C-alpha cells in the first residue's frame, strides 16, 4: 500500500483527501526520527536523572543560600564579607599554593613511572602495576598515618638520619614539607594511571624512526614522544589539581595552622558557626575556579582526554585564543627542552666517546628504571611501616616498635563501634559500587558508540569530579536535613554513588575505545538478539574493564570521608570517619591496628580483582 501511495500522482492524492508529504509526511517522519533518537538514548537517562536529583539539585540549593541574607532577602552580604576577609584570602592562597605544588611534583614524579609501565611487557608490567596500584587502593587515612609514623619526631626518617650522624635533623611533619610529602604520595597514583592510559596508545616506533633519521634520543623524545603524551600529562595534572583543592585530610594531620586549607574553613563555618550563606559563598568561589580551569583545559586539549581520548585537533586549537597561546608556549617549551637535551647529548658523547668495538650503552633506559623504581618505592613502602607499629607494646606510636603484642587488635575487634563502622563501610561501598555500575555502564556504552554531543555528555557525567567533594557533602547535608536522611545508610549510599558514577563512566569509556563492535555485528548476523549478544559476547570481553570500574567505585566509597563527616550527623559512623575522629584526639597504636587491617583487606581485594582481570584478558 505504501508503494502504491508513493507511485500515485500528487493530484490524485489531493483529490482523495490526502495531504502532501511535504506538509505532513515530512513532519511525521521527523517526529518519528526524533522519537527514535530519544528512545535510543535511554541508557543515559538513569545516570542523568540520578545526578540531576542527587547532585545538581542539592548543589543549586546550597549555592542559592549564598545570595540571601539572614532574613531571606536577596543580598550580596556574604560575597562582600568573602572579599573583605583577610583570613579567607590567606586560606585561599595557601590552598592554591598547596594544590599547585602538589600538581607539579606529582606530574614530574609520575611521568617516568607511566613511561616505564607503557614500555615494559609481560609479568614485569603486571608486577609493577600492582605495586603502583596498591597505595592508590589503600585508604588516604592509612597512608597519612604511615607518614605520621615515618616523619614523626621519633619516626623512621629521623632514626635513619641519626644513624647517618645528623645530630639536628630537619622537621618533616606539621609543616609545609610534611603536607607536600603526604599530598604527593596520596595523589600521584591518580596521575600515573591517567598518563598510562594515553602512553599505552603511543606507537614507540615513531621515536625509533626519528633516531634512524639522525635525532639523538633526547631530541626524539621531546620532539616526537612527549607531544603525543601531552593529553595524558594535562589530564593527570587537571585531576590532581582539582582533587587537591578539595583535599583536607593530609593538611589537617601533617600540617600546622599555617597549612589550613579552604575545606577546613567551610567545615568550620557549617559545623561550628552554622553560617550556611558564607559557606555557600566560599563554595561558589571554588566552583567558579574549577569551571574556569576546566574551560581552559577544554580549550587547550579537550575534555575527551579525561577518558583517554585524543587531544583537540590542531585546526580547532587555532580557532580560539587560549588554544593558540597554549600551542605557542608548548612549542617553545619543547624547543628549549629538545635543544637542551641535544647539548647534553653532545657533551656526553665528547666526554665518553663511543668505541667501535663496543655497543652503545643505553644509559637513558637505566636512568628511567632507576627513577621509576625510586618513585614506586616512595609509593609502596610507607604503608608497610604501619604493620610493625600495630604490634607494639607501647601506648604511643614510635619507631622502632617496642616488643610484640596483639592487644591493639583485640581492642579493635572487641569494640562494637569499630566492628559496626567497618561493616557499614563495606556494605555501603558494595552498594555504591553496584549502583555506580548500574548508572555508569549503560551511559558509557552509549557515549562510546554515539558521536553527537559526546563532550557535553562526558562533561555532565564527570561534573562530580570537577566539583570539590566538600561542596557535594555540604549540599547533600543541606538537602538531607529537609528530607530526614541525615544519619541514614541510604543517605550515605546516595552520596557515595554520586562520586562513584564519574569514575565508572571514565573507566568504561576508556575500555570501550578498544572494543571491536564488529564482534557484536557478527553475533547479530548469526541470529543472536541484543540481550544474548551482550551476555555471550560483549560481557565476557568487557569483564576485565568492568571489574576495574567496580573497583574504582568501591574504593572511592570505602575511603570516602568528606560526605560521612556531614551526612552521618553524629548518629552513625563509617570506618574512615571513626578513624578521623580518633586521629583528632590522639594517634594511638589502635589506629595503627585498624590501618593495618584495612591495608591487608584492600591488598587481598586488589589481588583477587587482578586475578579476575587477568582471566578476563586470557579469555579475550
How high is the pLDDT of residue 553?
87
What digits encode the pLDDT tens for the residues 260-304?
888 888 877 777 677 778 888 887 887 788 778 877 777 776 655
Q: What is the mean predicted confidence (pLDDT) over 511-515?
A: 73
- Whether 403 and 265 map to the same domain: the answer is no
Domain interval for residue 272: 67-216+228-311
Torsion from C-alpha of 565, 571, 573, 578, nearest 10 degrees: 80
What digits encode the pLDDT tens for the residues 15-42?
433 444 444 455 556 555 555 665 667 8
- Lowest model confidence (mean pLDDT) among 86-100, 212-226, 592-606: 212-226
Domain endpoint, select from 295, 311, 327: 311
Please report the sign of the dihedral spanned by the C-alpha atoms of residue 533, residue 538, residue 541, residue 547: negative
d(CA 425, CA 497): 13
> Total domain count for the chain?
2
Domain endpoint, select from 311, 333, 357: 311
- Whether 436 and 526 map to the same domain: the answer is yes
Residues 6+ apart with CB under 8 A from 502: 440, 461, 462, 463, 464, 465
- Read off the pLDDT band of 9 (50, 70, 90): very low
pLDDT at 519 over 70: yes
d(CA 371, CA 108): 11
Torsion from C-alpha of 293, 102, 222, 365, nearest 10 degrees: -150
3-state SS string over 181-224?
HHHHHHHHHHHHHHHHHHHCCCCCHHHHHHHHCCCCHHHHHHHH
d(CA 196, CA 371): 16
Torsion from C-alpha of 256, 257, 258, 263, nearest 10 degrees: 100
What digits encode the pLDDT tens for the residues 323-374?
677 777 777 877 777 777 767 766 666 666 665 555 555 556 788 888 889 9
How high is the pLDDT of residue 237?
87
Q: Is residue 523 part of a domain?
A: yes
Q: What is the mean predicted confidence (pLDDT) over 88-115?
A: 90
How high is the pLDDT of residue 434?
93
- Whether 446 and 544 map to the same domain: the answer is yes
Q: What is the mean predicted confidence (pLDDT) over 65-93?
A: 81
- Whether 253 and 129 map to the same domain: the answer is yes
How high is the pLDDT of residue 241?
87
- Whether 411 and 303 map to the same domain: the answer is no
* The C-alpha cell that represents 587 in the structure block: 594517634
How high is the pLDDT of residue 316?
47
How high is the pLDDT of residue 27?
54
- Whether 304 and 453 map to the same domain: the answer is no
How high is the pLDDT of residue 436?
92
For residue 303, the domain's CATH number is 1.10.3720.10
Q: Is residue 359 part of a domain?
A: no
How high is the pLDDT of residue 49?
92
- Lowest model confidence (mean pLDDT) among 109-123, 457-471, 579-593, 602-616: 602-616
| 3-class SS of residue 74 | strand
- Whether 421 and 293 map to the same domain: the answer is no
Phi-psi region of 274 (alpha: psi -120 to 50; beta: other; left: phi over 0): left
State what percent of residues in the chain have pLDDT above 90. 10
State what percent of residues in the chain have pLDDT above 70. 81
- Whether 446 and 590 map to the same domain: the answer is yes
| 3-class SS of residue 68 | strand
- Whether 303 and 394 map to the same domain: the answer is no
- Whether 507 and 592 map to the same domain: the answer is yes
What digits encode the pLDDT tens for the residues 225-261?
888 888 888 888 888 888 888 788 888 888 888 888 8
Residue count of the chain: 620
* Residue bearing the bigger pLDDT, 236 or 619: 236
- Contact criterion met (CB below 8 Å) for 544 and 612: yes
d(CA 391, CA 371): 33
How much is the mean pLDDT over the chain? 78
Residues 6+ apart with CB under 8 A from 444: 504, 505, 507, 508, 509, 512
- Whether 79 and 175 map to the same domain: the answer is yes
What digits encode the pLDDT tens for the residues 385-441?
778 888 888 777 777 778 888 888 998 899 898 999 999 999 999 999 999 999 998
- Read off the pLDDT band of 77 (50, 70, 90): confident
Nearest Cα residue to 91 out of 219, 259, 252: 259
Q: What is the mean predicted confidence (pLDDT) over 584-612?
A: 77
In this structure, how many other beta carbons lie within 10 angstroms of the beta carbon of residue 313? 11
Residues pairing with 241 in the sheet: none
* Residue bearing the bigger pLDDT, 505 or 455: 505
Q: Is residue 25 part of a domain?
A: no
Q: Is residue 296 part of a domain?
A: yes
How high is the pLDDT of residue 573?
87
Nearest Cα residue to 431 out of 487, 480, 482, 499: 499
Q: Which residue has the cell 611487557?
A: 121
How high is the pLDDT of residue 278?
81
Q: Is residue 62 part of a domain?
A: no
d(CA 483, CA 495): 14
- Whether 289 and 403 map to the same domain: the answer is no
Residues 6+ apart with CB under 8 A from 101: 180
Q: Is residue 44 part of a domain?
A: no
Q: Is residue 57 part of a domain?
A: no
Nearest Cα residue to 295 out of 347, 256, 238: 238
Domain endpoint, select from 311, 332, 366: 311
Q: Is residue 319 part of a domain?
A: no
Amino acid at each position: 500500500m505504501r508503494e502504491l501511495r508513493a507511485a500515485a500522482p500528487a493530484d490524485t492524492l489531493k483529490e482523495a483527501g490526502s495531504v502532501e508529504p511535504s506538509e505532513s509526511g515530512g513532519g511525521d517522519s521527523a517526529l518519528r526520527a526524533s522519537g527514535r533518537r530519544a528512545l535510543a538514548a535511554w541508557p543515559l537517562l538513569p545516570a542523568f536523572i540520578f545526578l540531576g536529583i542527587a547532585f545538581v539539585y542539592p548543589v543549586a540549593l546550597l549555592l542559592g543560600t549564598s545570595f540571601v541574607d539572614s532574613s531571606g532577602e536577596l543580598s550580596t552580604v556574604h560575597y562582600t564579607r568573602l572579599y573583605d576577609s583577610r583570613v579567607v584570602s590567606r586560606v585561599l592562597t595557601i590552598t592554591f599554593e598547596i594544590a599547585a605544588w602538589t600538581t607539579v611534583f606529582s606530574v614530574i614524579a609520575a611521568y617516568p613511572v607511566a613511561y616505564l609501565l607503557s614500555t615494559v611487557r609481560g609479568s614485569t608490567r603486571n608486577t609493577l602495576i600492582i605495586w603502583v596500584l596498591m597505595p592508590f587502593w589503600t585508604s588516604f587515612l592509612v597512608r597519612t598515618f604511615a607518614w605520621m609514623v615515618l616523619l614523626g619526631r621519633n619516626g623512621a626518617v629521623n632514626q635513619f638520619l641519626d644513624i647517618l650522624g645528623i645530630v639536628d635533623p630537619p622537621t618533616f611533619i606539621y609543616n609545609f614539607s610534611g603536607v607536600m610529602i603526604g599530598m604527593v604520595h596520596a595523589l600521584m597514583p591518580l596521575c600515573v594511571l591517567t598518563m598510562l592510559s594515553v602512553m599505552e596508545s603511543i606507537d614507540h616506533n615513531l621515536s625509533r624512526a626519528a633516531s634512524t633519521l639522525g635525532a639523538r634520543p633526547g631530541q626524539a623524545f621531546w620532539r616526537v614522544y612527549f607531544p603525543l603524551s601531552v593529553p595524558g600529562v594535562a589530564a593527570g595534572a587537571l585531576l590532581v589539581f582539582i582533587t587537591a583543592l578539595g583535599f583536607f585530610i593530609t593538611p589537617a594531620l601533617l600540617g600546622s595552622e599555617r597549612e589550613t586549607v579552604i575545606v577546613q574553613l567551610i567545615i568550620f563555618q557549617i559545623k561550628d558557626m552554622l553560617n550556611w550563606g558564607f559557606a555557600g559563598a566560599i563554595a561558589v568561589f571554588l566552583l567558579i575556579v574549577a569551571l574556569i580551569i576546566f574551560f581552559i583545559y577544554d580549550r587547550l586539549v579537550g575534555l575527551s582526554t579525561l577518558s583517554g581520548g585524543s587531544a583537540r585537533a590542531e585546526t580547532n586549537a587555532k580557532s580560539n585564543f587560549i588554544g593558540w597561546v597554549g600551542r605557542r608556549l608548548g612549542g617553545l617549551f619543547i624547543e628549549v627542552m629538545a635543544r637542551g637535551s641535544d647539548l647534553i647529548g653532545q657533551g656526553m658523547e665528547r666526554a665518553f666517546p663511543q668505541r667501535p668495538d663496543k655497543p652503545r650503552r643505553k644509559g637513558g633506559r637505566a636512568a628511567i628504571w632507576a627513577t621509576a623504581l625510586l618513585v614506586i618505592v616512595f609509593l609502596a613502602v610507607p604503608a608497610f611501616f604501619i604493620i610493625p607499629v600495630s604490634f607494639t607494646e607501647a601506648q604511643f606510636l614510635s619507631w622502632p616498635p617496642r616488643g610484640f603484642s596483639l592487644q591493639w587488635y583485640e581492642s579493635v575487634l572487641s569494640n562494637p563501634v569499630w566492628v559496626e563502622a567497618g561493616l557499614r563501610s563495606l556494605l555501603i561501598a558494595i552498594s555504591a559500587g553496584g549502583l555506580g555500575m548500574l548508572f555508569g555502564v549503560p551511559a558509557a556504552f552509549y557515549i562510546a558508540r554515539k558521536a553527537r554531543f559526546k563532550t557535553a555528555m562526558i562533561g555532565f557525567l564527570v561534573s562530580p569530579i570537577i566539583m570539590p567533594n566538600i561542596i557535594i557533602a555540604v549540599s547533600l547535608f543541606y538537602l538531607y536535613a529537609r528530607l530526614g536522611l541525615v544519619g541514614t545508610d541510604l543517605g550515605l549510599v546516595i552520596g557515595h554513588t554520586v562520586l562513584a558514577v564519574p569514575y565508572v563512566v571514565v573507566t568504561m569509556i576508556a575500555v570501550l575505545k578498544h572494543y571491536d563492535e564488529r564482534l557484536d555485528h557478527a553475533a547479530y548476523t548469526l541470529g543472536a538478539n541484543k540481550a544474548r549478544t551482550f551476555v555471550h559476547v560483549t560481557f565476557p570481553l568487557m569483564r576485565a574493564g568492568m571489574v576495574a570500574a567496580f573497583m574504582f567505585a568501591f574504593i572511592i566509597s570505602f575511603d570516602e570521608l568528606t560526605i560521612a563527616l556531614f551526612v552521618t550527623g553524629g548518629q552513625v559512623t563509617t570506618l574512615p570517619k571513626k578513624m578521623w575522629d580518633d586521629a583528632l584526639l590522639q594517634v594511638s597504636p589502635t589506629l595503627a591496628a585498624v590501618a593495618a587491617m584495612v591495608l591487608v583487606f584492600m591488598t587481598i581485594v586488589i589481588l583477587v580483582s587482578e586475578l579476575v582481570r587477568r582471566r578476563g584478558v586470557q579469555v579475550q
